[in-house]
Amino acid sequence: MISYLANPSRYLKLSKIVTPFIGWATFLTLLTALYYALVKSPPAVEHGQSVRMMYTHVPAAWCSLLAYTCLTVASIFSFIWRHPLADSAAKSIATPGLAFTFLALITGSLWGKPAWGTWWQWDGRMTSVLILFFIYIGYLAVWNVVAERKKAARLASIIAMVGFINIPIIKFSVDWWNTLHQPASISSIGAPGLPVEILTPLLLMSLSYSIFFMWLVMKGIEKDIINIKKRKSIPSALTEVENV
């Protein structure tokens, strides 16, 4: 399948068929998630109505890590195997990844004030997510500053692969250091978990964010392929004009 999609024309054909379905799936899951988050979910015992901020913060944080993991995988394909669409995929992943990380930082701050009495604290989780935000910026800056695509791809891939060391730091920071964040309540073995009325909208919102992320990446790859084809067609067009 990967080899099949390495052909840009094949990818464009498949993407034009698949992306509308993904778009509708995003819309439907988001509507369902919002219903559960805003209507069905009750206020939390400790945090009241502010618990609804978690339904935005946690999925955004999850997608910021998911995006960077996908970015690293695409960068490995680009750096080692020179996969034709790996660079397009990596670029298309980085922009929504940056947006999700920014959203996680902002909503985390808004959640932190009523929950912990502070907008920001330099604990392990917050600081490592902020570092992730700057890594995304640095990655995208390379693509914008370096004019030659192949060189930009190589440098950006190195940044992505080296920066991946920050992902396990983000994940395990609540276990390694004293932090305001609670330990994992869903993924860790033996964790106390969450009430069903809170867990349901949280999972639905995470699903809708993940599907939306997939849609953004696929559309981004489409746009990058089209832009590359346009740039390649300019010299031939200029040659035709000169020959007239």
Residue 201, domain member (yes or no) = yes
Residue 159 falls within a domain, yes or no? yes
**Which is more confidently placed, 180 or 138?**
138
Is 56 within a domain?
A: yes
First to last CA, the chain: 44
Q: Say if 190 falls within a structural domain.
A: no
d(CA 100, CA 221) in angstroms, rounded, equals 18
**Amino acid at position 58, single letter:** V
Assigned domain for 27 exists: yes
Q: What is the mean pLDDT of residues 62-72?
A: 97
Region 78-101: what's the mean pLDDT? 93
Categorize the per-residue pLDDT at 150 as very low, low, confident or very high, splitting at 50, 70 and 90.
Answer: very high
> What distance in Å separates the CA atoms of residue 179 and residue 121, rounded to the nearest whole number?
9
Q: Is 185 helix (H, G, I), strand (E, B) or coil?
A: coil
User: What's the pLDDT score for residue 119?
Assistant: 85
The total number of structural domains that make up the chain? 1
Phi–psi pair at 22, nearest 5 degrees: -65, -40
Phi, psi (rounded to 5 degrees) for 44 = -75, 150
pLDDT of 234: 47
CATH number at residue 169: 1.20.120
Buried b (16+ CB within 10 A) or exposed e, 137-170: eebbebbeeeeeeeebbbbbbebbbebbebbebb
Q: What is the pLDDT of residues 182-231, one digit of tens each?
A: 666 555 434 456 788 888 999 999 999 999 999 999 999 999 999 988 88
For residue 111, the Cα-to-chain-centroid distance in whole angstroms is: 21
Identify whether 3 is part of a domain. no
d(CA 54, CA 97): 19
Number of other CB atoms surrounding residue 189 within 10 Å: 5
The whole-angstrom separation of Cα 71 and Cα 160 is 7
Lowest mean pLDDT among 33-47, 59-73, 75-89, 136-150: 33-47
DSSP state of 189: T
Domain containing residue 70: 14-183+196-243
Mean pLDDT of the chain: 86
Residue 18 domain flag: yes
Q: How many CA atoms lie within 13 A of 140 on its CB side?
A: 14
Cα radius of gyration (the chain): 21
Q: Is residue 51 part of a domain?
A: yes
